[in-house]
Chains A and B, each alone.
Chain A
Amino acid sequence: MTVITHHIPDHILAAYAAGNLPHAFAIVVASHVSLCDECRVALEAHQTVGGAVMEGADSVAVSNALKDNLFAQLDEPFTPQPVFERKGVYPGPVVEALKGKEPRWKKLGMGVRQDILAANDQGSVRLLYIPPGQAVPDHGHNGLELTLVLQGSFSDQTGRFGTGDVEVATEDLDHTPIADEGEPCICLAATDAPLRFNAWVPRLLQPIFRI
C-alpha cells in the first residue's frame, strides 16, 4: 500500500467522535480510519477528550430500577452485532454499506461508473469507478466533499491522491480529478449537497439522476 499523505482534518474527526457528522461523511471517516493508523490514533485522542468531558459531568442519580433491570439482563443470551470485514479494496464500513454484496455499478458514460450507497437530505455517499486517464468532469459542490481513494490514484489541481488518501474539497474548489495511468481508480465520495456534473447532465435532470 502507498503511504497515506492526505488525512481527515482534525475538526471533522472531532465531529465524528462526537457523533455529529452526517452519515455519508461518517462512512468515509470510518473507512479512512480503517486504513490509516495516524487518523485512528487521532480519533482515539478525541475520544479521550470526550471521555474526560463525560467524566467531569455533574452526576445525576439514576433510579434503583435501572440497576436492577441491567443486572437482570447480564446473563441473558444475546446476538452480537454483525462485524463487516474488509473485502478486497473495500474497507469494513463500505462492505457494511454494500450489505456485504458486490457494488452494483451504473454507467455514467465515458467508462465512468457509480454506485450510490446512501443518500438522504443531509448528503449522499457513492462509489465511483474511473478508468485510467479519464476525467471526472468538473463538479462544483455547495458544501463539503470528501473523496477517499480505494484503488489506483487520481490527480487534480490540488495534488495527487493515492490509495488511502482522502481529498477534502470545499465549495470554493472547482476541481477536475483525473484518474492516473495504471489500474482504474475506485473512490468513495461523500457530499452534503447534490453534485453538479456540469459537463454531463443538464442541471434540471439532476434530481432524477441523483448525481
Chain B
Amino acid sequence: MLMLELDISPTKQALPAAVKRKQKRVSEHKMEISQQTRWMLAVRDRRDKKAFSELFDFYAPRLKGFVNRSGVSSQQAEEIVQEVMLTIWRKAEMFDPHRAQVSAWIYQIARNRQIDMMRKENRPVPEELSIEQSDEPDVGQVVALEQETEKLRQALENLNEEQKTMIEKAYLGELTHQEISTQTGLPMGTVKSRIRLGLERLRHELKGLR
C-alpha cells in the first residue's frame, strides 16, 4: 500500500530553484489566460481555423505520445488523435474554461474516443450541465483554475519515478479500480483541494439556475 498525502504548499516544501523562478513568473502574469485556453476560445467563439491549427500543433504530438503508451499501434494512435481533434472542433461549444482546463477537457474526449473505438461501445457519460456560456470569460476564475492546475503539474513532477509511473498507468486506464485503491500513490491532497475549490466555483455558477 502506497498512499500518499502530497503537500504542495511552497512554504513547507523545498523546491528546486528552477521551479521557484517559474512560480514567480506565473504570479507576475496573474491575470493572463494561457495561450492554449485562448486558442480554444477562438475556436469555440469564432471557429478560428488558425487557432485550431495552433491547438493541433501543440496537442496532437502530446496526445499521440500519450495514446502510444497504452500499447496501440502507431496507425491506431493516429486514428485516435485525428478523431479526438475532430471532436474538439465539433464539440467546441461545450468547452467551459471556468470548469475545465483545455488539457483536462481533451483528456476526457481522448479517453471517451479511445474506448468507443476499441470496445465498439459508447461509454456512458454524465448529463451535461446546462450553464449559460458568456462570451467574455471571467478572467480571474479562469486564471485561478489554471494556477491550480499548474500547482498540480508541479506536484506530479516532484513525485518519485515509481509514483509517477503508477499515476501515469492509472490515468492511461491500465489499472483497475481495485489496483488504484491499493497500489497507486494518487496525489490525494492535491486532488482534494481542487475538488473543494472546484465545488465552490460550481456552486457559485449554479446559483440562480436552480
Contacts and interface: CB of A to CB of B under 8 A. Distances in A.
Contact of B156 (A17, A29, A56): A56
Interface in B88-120: 89-90, 99-108, 110-112, 114-115
Interface residues of B, number: 77
A88 interface: no
Query: Chain A: interface secondary structure?
Result: helix
A60 B186 CA distance: 26
B191 interface: yes
B65 A44 contact: no
Interface string B166-192: 011011111111101100001110111
A34 B126 contact: yes
Interface string A24-35: 011101110110
Contact of B170 (A18, A67, A78): A18
Contacts of A57: 62-63, 65-66, 69
Interface residues of A, number: 65
A42 B104 CA distance: 13
Query: Chain B: interface secondary structure?
Result: helix
Interface stretch (B10-18, B19-27, B136-144, B193-201): B193-201
A40 B202 contact: yes
A66 interface: yes
B191 A45 contact: yes
B38 interface: no
A33 B181 CA distance: 20
Contacts of B52: 74
A26 to B, nearest CB: 5
Contacts of B191: 10, 42, 45-46, 49
Contacts, number: 206
Contact of A41 (B81, B82, B171, B195): B195
Contacts of B124: 23, 26-27, 29-31, 93, 96-97
A44 B82 contact: no
Given A17-B111, A19-B112, A44-B99, A34 B127 contact: yes
Contacts of A175: none
Given A9-B181, A70-B86, A54 B107 contact: yes
Interface stretch (A79-87, A131-139, A151-159, A202-210): A79-87
A21 B111 CA distance: 12
A70 B127 contact: no
A30 B126 contact: yes
B85 interface: yes
B117 to A, nearest CB: 11
Contacts of B102: 51
A9 B176 CA distance: 14
B107 A20 contact: no
Given A37-B206, A93-B126, A60 B194 contact: no
A73 B173 contact: no
A16 to B, nearest CB: 8
Given A30-B124, A52-B152, A56-B156, 20 more contacts: A15-B177, A17-B171, A20-B177, A26-B124, A44-B99, A47-B104, A47-B107, A51-B102, A52-B153, A53-B156, A54-B110, A55-B62, A55-B153, A60-B61, A62-B64, A74-B89, A78-B90, A81-B122, A93-B127, A96-B124
25 contacts: A10-B188, A14-B170, A18-B175, A20-B173, A20-B176, A29-B124, A30-B124, A37-B203, A37-B206, A41-B198, A44-B198, A45-B195, A47-B108, A49-B171, A55-B153, A58-B65, A59-B62, A62-B78, A66-B81, A67-B56, A71-B49, A78-B90, A80-B90, A81-B122, A144-B177
